[in-house]
Amino acid sequence: MKLAELTTVALAEMLARGPVVALLPVGSVEPHGPHLPLGTDTLISEAAITRAVGRLAAHGVTALVAPAIPYGVTEYARGFAGAVSIDGATLTAFVRGVIEALLREGLSHVCVVNNHLEPEHDTALRSALVGLAGRASLACPLTRRWGRTLSAEYKSGACHAGRYETSLVLAAAPALVDTAAARTLPPLATSLSDGIRAGQRTFAAMGLDAAYTGAPAEASADEGLELTERLAEMVATEVLEALVTLGLSTTA
């Protein structure tokens, strides 16, 4: 159910049959230690969306996976190769433009699914949704509602390229994980959330010399599958609740 793989005829027929929502994955091109790919955040969003499509179908909701937006605000990782950052205003304008274009094409709702958790990036995405209540939503584990459903490492804040994200990528794209490198990495307890509150603005300032924190050596694909399901529940719930506000009937 990928939007980009449909023909114009197939999409028109789908829209004519009833409400269709778009799930828009957003991530970043950002260093994730010596063992995970630069596109980790986008991969996680796409994996959650893939699982969410089935959950939504069970509620009678047709969902299409929109092409991902793989760039974001990635200032905390500057100084490491592969930190490709755009400014927040550019991200806001682009995401807003994509949402509005999808709505004009007849999609009933657009859910932006984000797993790149840099504060300015999150702010930029939320700004893109201003004035679109019901028509667009944001599914992101930064909110307390969804963050509390995730793993202990995630909740500790010591979770960049650690056990949490490494498990998710092992489940979604195991060939992209350098497991030999991951096994050599000692656990780090540096909390990104604590560092951000303390005014530290880069991984380097937090002492993350290898662009990771947490315990990547403890990751597993089984844990990643469980976490993916929790993220999929987040996506599906945000969409179903938005459809209720639009007065569109679901079996939620």
CATH of the domain at 134: 3.40.50.10310
Instruction: Give the number of domains in the chain.
Output: 1
* pLDDT reported for residue 252: 46
Under 8 Å between Cβ of 231 and 115: yes
Task: Give the per-residue pLDDT at 248.
Answer: 87
| Coil/strand/helix, residue 46 | helix
Range of the structural domain that residue 234 is part of: 3-245
pLDDT tens digits in sequence order for the chain, 252 residues long: 899 999 999 999 999 998 999 999 999 999 999 999 999 999 999 999 999 999 999 999 999 999 999 999 999 999 999 999 999 999 999 999 999 999 999 999 999 999 999 999 999 999 999 999 899 999 999 999 999 999 999 999 999 999 999 999 999 999 999 999 999 999 999 999 999 999 999 999 999 999 999 999 999 999 999 999 999 999 999 999 999 999 986 554
Q: Return the axis-axis angle of helices 119-128 and 88-104, rounded to nearest 10°.
A: 30
Single out the residue of 146, 156, 140, 150 nearest to residue 214, CA to CA: 156
Residue 134 located in a structural domain: yes
Would 219 be classed as within a structural domain? yes
Q: Is residue 252 part of a domain?
A: no
Do the Cβ atoms of 154 and 182 come closer than 8 Å? Answer: no
In a domain, 195, yes or no: yes
In a domain, 54, yes or no: yes
In a domain, 87, yes or no: yes
Could you write out the DSSP letters of every residue in 112-130? EEE----HHHHHHHHHHTT
Assess if residue 200 is contained within a domain: yes
In the prediction, which pLDDT does 18 show? 87
Residue 62 covered by a domain:
yes
Query: What pLDDT sits at residue 250?
Result: 59
pTM of the model: 0.96
